[in-house]
Structure formats: C-alpha cells, structure tokens
Amino acid sequence: MASVYSKREILYISWFDWSTGKTKNRSTRIADNPTNRKIVEKMSNDLQNELNKKKDEFEKNSLIRGATIKSAFKHFLKNNSTKHVNTIYEYNRFYKLLIKKFDENASCTVLNKLSIEDWLNDIKYLNFQQNTLHTYYKQCNHFLNFLFEYNYLHMFKINKSVKILPEVKEIITFSNDDLTKIFGGLEKKNSNFKIMVYLAYYTGLRSSDLLTITGARVDLQNNVLSYYSPKTKKYFQIPFHSKLSDILKARIAEVNSGNLIRFKDTTNMSLAFRRYLKSLGLFGTGYSLRVFRKTFISQASQTMDLATVSKLVGHSSITTTAKYYNKVELKRKATELEKFEGFEDAK
C-alpha cells in the first residue's frame, strides 16, 4: 500500500511499483502539518488505486496466467523457428543455462527484475569468454522482450551495471607470408578445396554465403556472381575479381551444375581448412576460415571507400565495416603524419 511519511518537515509518498519490483519514493514538496497530511494521504490513496487498476488490467489482458517457463520458451522458439540454425542453437544454449537456476516448470513470474539480475551476476563468474557471456545476455534480453510482448510478464528494465558488454577483440588477418604458404600449398589439394579458398579470399563472403554459389549464378562474361545469404535471408549480386575467372571457369566445367563448393556445411569447411593449416605448420595462430573475410575487408578498406566494401561483403550496415575493419597500413599512417608540419620552430 502507498503510504505517507515526513522527512525534514516535508511530506513524501512511498509505494511499491509492481511493474519494476521496486519501492519508490516521491517528495510532494508540501510542508508537514495536519491539514496538508490529509491532502497527501488522499493523493496516496489515489495513487494506490491507480496502481491496482493497472495491475488488474495487466492480469486481465495476460496471455496465459501462470504459464510455465518451459511453455513460454516453446512459444518463443516457435515464433523464431525461421531464424538461422546458429541463432536457434544460441537460444537453446541460453535456455539450458537459465534452467540450471530456475525450475522450467515454475511460473514465468519467477523471472522478475531481481532474480534475472541475480542470474546475470552469477554467470559472470563462470569460466566463459567475455563475448560468450555477452551472447547469453543478448539471448536473455530477446527472451524477456518476448515475455513482455505477450504479457507473460510485466515489463522491467535491467540495471545498466548488470549488463554484460561485448569485448571487441583485435582483428586477426593473414600475414602476406602466411597467405603465400596457403596459396602455395593448394597445388596438392583438390579443386573443391581450392575453389573454397579462392572464393573465401577474393570475395570476403561468409562461409554460409559461399555454399550457395552455383555455376548458374556465375556470369563469366561480365565477371558477376549471385549468392543467397542465409544470415540476412536476401539474394545479392556482386562483381568478382578477375583472378577468379580461370578457376571459376574450370570448376564450373568440372561440376557441370549445382554448387561449386561441395562441402556438407560450414562446419565441414572449417574442419577441412583447420587440417590444412595444421599441415602447413600454421595451426595455433588463431587463423580460421573466417579470417579470409576479415583479411579481405581489412585490405579492401585501405583502397576502397567503406560503402563499397560494405556492399561487397554483405554487411547490413556500413557501421559494422567502419567499427571493426577500418584499418590503415602503418606506412600510410606514417605518410599521412608527415603532412602535419607543426609550427616553424619545432625541431
């Protein structure tokens, strides 16, 4: 119940906000005396009646009163069933960690501001990398927003000090010497592996994008190829580098039709490349198949405008390109620095 109290001879109202799970206080800026207290007590009663009305309205419009966490998560997965397989995997991984603390057969109402913040603070001490923890936090947010949207829960806001922020790591790219080793060793590899490496390096596309390229989607006359991005669920058409012409022509002739890269999935692509790195003595360097994308974007951004680079690699926003890949070579930095003359007496 809302109540009235005095502090430094000023009347305050205190009440419990059910929507946030917190007790709140507000100064009326009215002096404490018998007459004013009656006025403020009426204000307090009116406030409590309004809070009760809102709570009743919420419960009346609630989708499922007393729904369990398990049933709500099943509904959540159903709504997100068209998401990428990796996203679904992340949702399920988050849920497995969540129900280690919360009984999945308990009511959704146990997921309140205090209990969720307590859970987030607890997982910070698990032996996970910062970005893994951030992923758990992201999926938790997605699930909570779903619960809010369908009135499984009343809305609350997670305290900013509890939020788990991502760690932006240094971008790993292939050195020129290692690229020489990688391309030099391709003579002993089959054409399936070769086309994977060439396309990965000269297009900068995601592995999942590369798997969608077919011979029919390659225009050798105009040096243009089309692909489908499972991540963005969109079709793209981009020009390809002239150095890809001969190897693409040969591969198309070999496979006749269908996909140019004949790996089952991106996991098999990554494993094959990892074995190749090991054979070259490059295992343990932090390299992976994804590094081709990072290398392409980092090198391309040194000579092309970011908008062009962003479109070539299928970034949904140029902000991503600018934030992570806008690198400039050290020599170029030194050249640009010399343009700064300083003042005349500087020695």
User: Are 80 and 182 in a shared domain?
Assistant: no
Nearest to 152 by CA among 110, 104, 95, 96: 110
Q: Is residue 61 in a domain?
A: no
User: Are 22 and 78 in a shared domain?
Assistant: no
For residue 91, give its domain range. 69-149
pLDDT value at 321 more than 90: no
What gap in Å lies between CA 260 and CA 278, rounded to an integer? 25
**Residue 61 confidence (pLDDT):** 57
pLDDT bucket at 319, cuts 50 / 70 / 90: confident
In this structure, is the dihedral angle defined by the CA atoms of residues 198, 85, 116 and 59, taken in order, positive or negative? positive
Number of domains comprising the chain: 3
Q: Is residue 166 in a domain?
A: no
User: Are 45 and 73 in a shared domain?
Assistant: no
Q: Is residue 63 in a domain?
A: no
What gap in Å lies between CA 290 and CA 297, rounded to an integer? 11
**Residue 272 confidence (pLDDT):** 96
User: Are 123 and 83 in a shared domain?
Assistant: yes
CATH of the domain at 187: 1.10.443.10
pLDDT value at 20 more than 90: no
User: Are 182 and 295 in a shared domain?
Assistant: yes
How large is the average pLDDT for residues 259-263? Answer: 96
User: Are 228 and 287 in a shared domain?
Assistant: yes
* Chain centroid offset of residue 269 CA: 23
User: Are 141 and 182 in a shared domain?
Assistant: no
Q: Compute, in degrees rounded to 10, the torsion defined by CA atoms 260, 263, 266, 272.
A: -110
Q: Is residue 105 in a domain?
A: yes
User: Are 138 and 48 in a shared domain?
Assistant: no
In this predicted model, which residue has the larger pLDDT, 110 or 320?
Answer: 110
User: Are 42 and 189 in a shared domain?
Assistant: no
Q: Is residue 345 in a domain?
A: no
* The two structure tokens encoding residue 315: 């970034």
Dihedral pair phi/psi, residue 273, rounded to 5°: -70, -35
In this predicted model, which residue has the larger pLDDT, 306 or 180?
Answer: 180
User: Are 141 and 200 in a shared domain?
Assistant: no
DSSP string, 30-89: EE-SHHHHHHHHHHHHHHHHHHHHHHHHHHHH-SSTT-BHHHHHHHHHHHTTTS-HHHHH
Q: Is residue 131 in a domain?
A: yes
**Residue 58 confidence (pLDDT):** 65
User: Are 130 and 22 in a shared domain?
Assistant: no
When mean pLDDT is compared across 64-68, 151-155, 204-208, 227-231, the lowest value belongs to 64-68
| Helix, strand or coil, per DSSP, at residue 216 | helix
When mean pLDDT is compared across 66-70, 77-81, 308-312, the lowest value belongs to 66-70
**Residue 344 confidence (pLDDT):** 61
What pLDDT, in 10s, does the model give residues 279-300?
999 988 889 999 999 999 988 8
Q: Is residue 11 in a domain?
A: yes
Q: Is residue 62 in a domain?
A: no
User: Are 84 and 192 in a shared domain?
Assistant: no
